[in-house]
């Protein structure tokens, strides 16, 4: 029986196992949102602390994204993912014993480092594991790892917390991540023999020379306008998306929604983001201009939050749109906004200074994406606490969308050149 089980897990496509590893890491990003109402009662977490709990998982990406983008190949892609999964396992295991908000804040920062170690090398590892004709498909699947993990956490988290406790939710994800690390260790070939015969060839004799060239690659990336425009655009997207999705369970709970309904509604909002990611790739293939997709995405995000949160007049407790229309507006925000990351990943490859700086450009984009996710939730929480409600949330997200539109205009002009 053991031999049959061992053969079964090894029969799974290694690239798919890498994607599932990313999903397991994304579960830790999304696990906090459904627990926030309970944590505020159990540990006395304030609204501002809740914002930092949502965003601290991005601290490592905010500070180390570029460095990991430069060094992932030297560290070993599989070793990096395994290390990240083990860090997530340890931090989540310890988090279940946290007795105060400060301990959780520290462990969320550690989880952010583990998440970065998993997410940064994964696209390159997939590129080594699949044949060229499958690469676009598998990388497209990888692009959906974050909304899939977030939606799963939002859907199952409230159920586990209701049946057991938030501590069991933390410990359960720790065990799941440890099992994922074991699966990846068994299925994915070691780094030194990773690439099959059909994989994209790497420099071997010149690997040492390439390693010494990293300062030049860094200089080329940071002195070119394209990587900066892509990175700043991603920050404008990611900050407002995580802020809205992260606080939806709290918003629904304050509005009197049942826990089960809150879980399903929030998970649906996160899941439809995958639609935008997938559609953007198809539209780009058919010749739609990236600038057009960015315009649509940022306009939908700004309009969606305006319709979802605005009240008339702009004071706490005033009336707004009916709940059904507010929910549809949040769906619009997430689904059409999902075209932005897919488009920006394509532009990152196009606007990198040269072929050797693509991974560095993606790392720089990841760093600014993390910065946006770090700043967005606390900013929205601060505004909500200052005005006594969520009715000015659209002011924060609308500002991000306007800046995103200005950046999209510059990106469109540069991509045409």
pLDDT, tens digit, for every residue of 341-390?
878 877 877 788 876 676 677 778 888 988 888 888 888 888 888 887 77
Query: Which of 300, 303, 307 lies closest to 279, judged by CA?
Result: 300
Give me the residues paired with residue 312 across strands. Answer: 319
What's 312's DSSP letter?
B
For residue 399, report the phi and psi dihedrals to the nearest 5 degrees: -65, -45
- Per-residue model confidence (pLDDT) at position 318: 52
SS3 assignment, position 319: strand
Q: Which residue has the tokens 């990096």?
A: 80
Nearest 5 degrees, angle CA 33-CA 260-CA 242?
A: 25
Lowest mean pLDDT of 82-96, 291-305, 313-327, name the range: 313-327
What's the length of the chain?
A: 417
Whole-number pLDDT of residue 312: 57
pLDDT, position 46 = 78
* pLDDT of residue 400 exceeding 80: yes
At residue 159, the 3 state secondary structure works out as helix
- 3-class state of residue 15 by DSSP: helix
Is residue 208 predicted with pLDDT exceeding 50? no
Average pLDDT over residues 313-335: 75
pLDDT, tens digit, 9 for 90 and up, residues 212-263 = 467 777 888 888 999 999 999 999 999 898 888 877 777 777 667 776 777 7
State how far the Cα of 297 lies from the Cα of 277, in Å rounded to an integer: 11
Cα separation, 239 vs 54, whole angstroms: 11
**Structure tokens of 195?**
């690439």
Q: Residue 156: is its pLDDT beyond 80?
A: yes
- The CATH homologous superfamily for domain 1-189 is MFS general substrate transporter like domains (1.20.1250.20)
Are the CB atoms for 310 and 247 separated by under 8 Å? Answer: no
> Domain 213-417, what architecture?
Up-down Bundle (1.20)
Write down the pLDDT at residue 212: 45
pLDDT of residue 231: 93
Q: Locate 127 and state its tokens.
A: 């590129």
At 320 the pLDDT is 62
Q: What is the pTM of this model?
A: 0.73
Asked whether the predicted pLDDT for residue 27 surpasses 80, the reply is yes
Domain with CATH 1.20.1250.20 in the chain: 1-189, 213-417
- Could you say which DSSP state residue 189 is in? P
- The interaxial angle of helices 225-254 and 47-55, nearest 10 deg, is 140
Question: What are 114's two structure tokens?
Answer: 């583990």
Asked if the model's pLDDT at residue 203 lies above 50, the reply is: no
199, two tokens? 């994989």
Residue pair 127/199 in contact by the 8 Å Cβ criterion: yes
The closest alpha carbon to 151, from 317, 266, 321, 11, belongs to 266
């Amino acid at each position: 029986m053991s031999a049959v089980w061992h053969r079964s897990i090894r029969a799974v496509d290694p690239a798919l196992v890498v994607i599932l590893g990313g999903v397991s890491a994304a579960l830790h990003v999304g696990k906090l949102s459904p627990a926030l109402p309970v944590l505020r009662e159990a540990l006395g977490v304030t609204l501002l602390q809740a914002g930092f709990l949502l965003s601290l998982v991005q601290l490592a990406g905010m500070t180390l994204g570029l460095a990991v983008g430069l060094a992932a190949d030297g560290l070993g892609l599989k070793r990096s993912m395994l290390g990240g999964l083990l860090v997530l396992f340890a931090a989540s295991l310890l988090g279940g014993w946290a007795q105060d908000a400060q301990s959780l804040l520290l462990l969320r920062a550690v989880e952010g480092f583990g998440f970065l170690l998993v997410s940064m090398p994964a696209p390159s590892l997939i590129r080594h594991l699949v044949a060229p004709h499958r690469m676009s498909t598998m990388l497209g699947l990888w692009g959906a790892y974050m909304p899939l993990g977030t939606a799963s956490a939002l859907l199952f988290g409230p159920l586990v917390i209701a049946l057991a406790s938030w501590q069991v939710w933390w410990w359960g994800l720790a065990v799941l991540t440890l099992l994922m690390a074991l699966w990846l260790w068994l299925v994915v070939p070691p780094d030194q023999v990773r690439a099959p015969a059909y994989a994209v060839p790497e420099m071997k004799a010149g690997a040492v020379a390439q390693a010494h060239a990293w300062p030049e690659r860094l200089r080329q990336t940071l002195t070119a306008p394209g990587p900066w425009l892509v990175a700043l655009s991603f920050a404008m997207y990611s900050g407002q998306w995580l802020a809205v999705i992260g606080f939806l369970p709290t918003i629904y709970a304050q509005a009197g929604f049942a826990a089960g309904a809150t879980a399903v509604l929030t998970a649906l909002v996160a899941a439809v983001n995958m639609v935008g990611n997938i559609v953007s790739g198809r539209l780009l293939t058919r010749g739609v201009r990236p600038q057009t997709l960015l315009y649509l995405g940022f306009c939908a995000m700004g309009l969606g939050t305006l319709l979802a949160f605005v009240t008339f007049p702009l004071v706490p407790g005033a009336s707004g749109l009916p709940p059904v229309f507010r929910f549809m507006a949040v769906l619009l925000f997430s689904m059409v906004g999902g075209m932005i990351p897919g488009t920006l990943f394509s532009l990152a490859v196009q606007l990198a200074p040269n072929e050797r700086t693509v991974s560095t450009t993606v790392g720089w984009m990841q760093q600014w994406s993390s910065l946006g996710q770090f700043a967005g939730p606390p900013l929205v929480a601060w505004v909500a606490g200052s005005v006594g409600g969520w009715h000015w949330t659209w002011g924060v997200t609308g500002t991000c969308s306007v800046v995103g539109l200005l950046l999209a205009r510059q990106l469109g002009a540069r991509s045409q050149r």
